[in-house]
Amino acid sequence: MTCFSRITGTGSYLPPRRLTNADLVAELAAGGVETSDEWIVERTGIRARHFAAADVSSSDLGVEAAKKALEAAGLEPSDIDLIIVATSTPDMVFPSVACILQNKLGIAGCAAFDVQAVCSGFVYALTVADALIKTGSATKALVIGAEVFSRILDFSDRTTCVLFGDGAGAVVLEASDTPGILASDLHADGKHVGILCVPGHVSGGKVLGDPLLKMDGPAVFKLAVGVLESAARATLAKANLTDADIDWLIPHQANIRIMQSTAKKLKMPLEKLIVTVDQHGNTSAASIPLALDVSVRSGKIKKGDTLMLEGVGGGFTWGAVLLNY
């Protein structure tokens, strides 16, 4: 019997501290950086974001999202035999956030590791989990995106510090005899490393280089729209489906203009575009599972809907996953 994988539960978690654009503008002004709500909304569509407290890590956010996904799937932590966490903001250099989170869930023994593909991370992680389930290496997986991007922001750079937020999203992916994940398509092009990066590292007990996020916004925008369309179309072709078969497009929540441009290229009405960037900002690897969970719990996404998930991020990485929910 051919084995497939299906999402059986979703969960998400946002840290309590919510900053509207007005809140952030006031904080930045105190540091001598000028911007405005109008400037942020016009360029990004973002109106608010959440920042984690200083003592809260990616694993803390991830474990809360994981618990909700497990509850939605009707499972206990002990049922899980694979944990994959997508993150660019780990708790420490090593061990992985997945191992730390595994311990916080009170379980041991199952495989646990992180995937680092920045904002494409959840798409990468979901594809890996699907492959491991299809080969019989796992039957019930937790796939999590968790980020504390507020830790790596340069609050003297208004072009980047207004974009990002913290949060986590999770899904339970289980073996099934009916197709859930239909197809995926992953890519990377390392020659674009410099347009979105954090060019610092730890050596000899010191941080060498710059440990804060750097981005060439126009270059990222130009690349993102093209590769998101191509990945979506490649994924549809693998599944022998067309644009018209997509019920909901759930892109990485980076910038409303990128998201809307991608939807238009796929000939999708904007009513079928899932948007949470206005309230969450860009939460990197957490953005897709966050948007998925919010839409499932609100009743917008229903069982049987066909979803296109797609992400693009530093690396330069990009990819898409097509699934029946």
Q: How many Å apart are CA 303 and CA 178, to the nearest integer?
A: 13
DSSP 211-249: -S-EE-HHHHHHHHHHHHHHHHHHHHHHTT--GGG-SEE
Pairing mode of beta strands 214-215, 166-176: unpaired
Q: Which of 99, 119, 161, 197 is catalytic?
A: 119
SS3 (DSSP) at 155: coil
Q: Which of 252, 255, 280, 324 is catalytic?
A: 252
103 in catalytic set: no
Structure tokens at 158: 């208004």
How far, in Å, CA of 122 to CA of 124, rounded? Answer: 5
Q: Is 24 helix (H, G, I), strand (E, B) or coil?
A: helix
d(CA 47, CA 32): 21
Is the peptide bond preceding residue 316 cis, with omega within 30 degrees of 0?
yes
3 is catalytic: no
Contacts of 279 (CB under 8 A, 6+ apart): 47, 48, 49
Question: Tokens 């590769």, residue?
Answer: 227
* Residue 217 CB-density burial (10 A; 0-12 exposed, 13-18 middle, 19+ buried): middle
The token duo for 249 is 């497009």
Name the residue with tokens 């944990």: 83
Q: How many CB atoms lie under 10 A from the CB of residue 190?
A: 8
| Structure letter (DSSP) for residue 93 | S
Let me know the angle formed at the C-alpha of 323 by 322 and 324, rounded to the nearest 5 degrees: 145
Does the annotation mark 282 as catalytic? yes
Number of helical H runs and strand E runs in the chain: 10, 15
Question: Considering 21, 50, 161, 282, which one is annotated as catalytic?
Answer: 282
- Tell me the C-alpha distance between 154 and 95, whole Å: 26
Q: Which residues are catalytic?
A: 119, 252, 282
